[in-house]
């Protein structure tokens, strides 16, 4: 494999690995926000249950509900941005992986062509040696 092919493959592999790390980080953030939304929903249900049992808490429930909606909407907006970021990284990773495969294919084809050329040279050398042996055997038979 040539140096340029190794360099391109190494660079492409680095890019793929970097994108995979970014994707893992984004997936972790997405999971965090999904858990945050689920926690907010559970807390709201708990407050609603408490409000059903206590009139003082029921009186403050509309304010809690307003705050809950604001916090939840913010978390959902952040989650949507993270999902869009994840989709973009997945697209970039797909393109980078395709590029890596192209470079690997070019390197493999180049290597196969080099091997085929070496075999042709070797076959030509063997053919020449066989012709010399045949010629020497013919000379030896004429002398005899």
Reported as a single tens digit per residue, the pLDDT across 15-33 is 999 999 999 999 999 999 9
DSSP per-residue codes, 56-118: HHHHHHHHHHHHHHHHHHHHHHHHHHHHHHHHHHHHHHHHHHHHHHHHHHHHHHHHHHHHHHH
* Mean pLDDT rounded to a whole number for the chain: 92
Question: Residue 103 has what pLDDT?
Answer: 86
Could you tell me the two tokens for 98? 């395709």
Q: Is 103 exposed, middle or buried (0-12, 13-18, 19+ CB in 10 A)?
A: buried
Question: Residue 1 has what pLDDT?
Answer: 62
CB 59 within 8 A of CB 133: no
Q: What are phi and psi of 47, to 5 degrees?
A: -65, -35
Reported as a single tens digit per residue, the pLDDT across 21-71 is 999 999 999 999 999 999 999 999 999 999 999 888 899 999 999 999 999
pLDDT at 83 over 90: yes
Query: What value, to the nearest 5°, has the Cα angle with vertex 95 and ends 92 and 101?
Result: 140
Instruction: Please state the pTM of the whole predicted model.
Output: 0.70
């Amino acid at each position: 494999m040539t140096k340029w092919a190794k360099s391109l493959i190494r660079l492409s592999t680095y890019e793929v690995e970097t994108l995979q790390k970014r994707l893992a980080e984004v997936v972790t953030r997405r999971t965090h926000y999904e858990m945050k939304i689920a926690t907010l929903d559970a807390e709201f249900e708990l407050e609603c249950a408490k409000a059903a049992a206590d009139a003082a808490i029921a009186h403050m429930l509309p304010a809690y509900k307003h705050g809950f909606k604001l916090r939840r909407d913010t978390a959902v907006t952040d989650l949507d941005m993270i999902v869009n970021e994840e989709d973009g990284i997945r697209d970039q990773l797909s393109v980078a992986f395709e590029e890596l495969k192209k470079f690997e294919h070019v390197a493999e084809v180049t290597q196969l062509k080099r091997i085929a050329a070496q075999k042709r040279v070797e076959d030509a050398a063997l053919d020449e040696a066989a012709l010399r042996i045949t010629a020497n055997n013919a000379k030896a038979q004429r002398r005899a």
